[in-house]
Amino acid sequence: MKEKETAAAEAAAAEAAAAEATAAEVPATAEATEAAETEAAEAADTQYWQNRALAAEAELLCREREAALERGLEGVTFTSQAARRDVVSRIRAARLPLEGGELCGLGGLLSAIKAEDAGAFSDTAPVRFTEPLSGEVPAGGDPSARRRLIMAIRDRAERRAAIAENIDLFK
């Protein structure tokens, strides 16, 4: 019997030791889990800000490229807005490298586009209303016809210039 009691006591002691070990492991496991969750949250936060920084850099580069493109096209005259949009889209599609605030190879690309589609470019300044209309009514003409002609000019600046040149028609 003593052996049974000793065996039972040893079993109880072993169970108590196992319970203590498990109880000691639970807080350690909870702390480890909490630490892992904190590290994961910090890593996600770091990744979020890294992504935001990359997006901001990409936006800045895009703005710099657009500004360089506008500077490169300052002296170029197009026959229409549609022609300008087409040429600009072709330049954007070429993805020219940006160095020192300028698009490398823009001049060569413009020359190639001019050779391919010369009708998109104009060698002269934009068309303006150049024939001043005098206040005199032409033979068999009507001053209201001249007013309508001037008012039909779509470009606001040109229309204003024509009105200023022919102010007597609008009095």
pLDDT in tens, the chain (171 residues): 566 667 767 777 777 777 666 655 555 566 777 887 888 888 888 899 999 999 999 999 889 999 999 999 988 888 888 889 999 999 999 999 988 888 889 989 999 999 998 888 887 555 454 455 555 545 445 677 888 888 888 888 888 888 888 888 887
Whether residue 79 sits in one domain with residue 47: no
Residue 128's φ and ψ, nearest 5 degrees, are: -120, 160
Per DSSP, 127 falls in state P
pLDDT, position 101:
85
User: Please, what is the end-to-end C-alpha distance for the chain in angstroms?
Assistant: 132
Asked if 144 and 169 sit in the same domain, the reply is: yes
Q: Tell me what pLDDT residue 38 has.
A: 86
What letter represents residue 69's amino acid? L
105 domain-assigned: yes
Q: What whole-number distance in Å separates Cα of residue 26 and Cα of residue 55?
A: 43
Domain count for the chain: 3
Are 6 and 57 contained in the same domain?
yes
Please state, in angstroms and rounded to a whole number, the distance separating the CA atoms of residues 106 and 68.
Answer: 10
Domain limits for position 77: 73-123
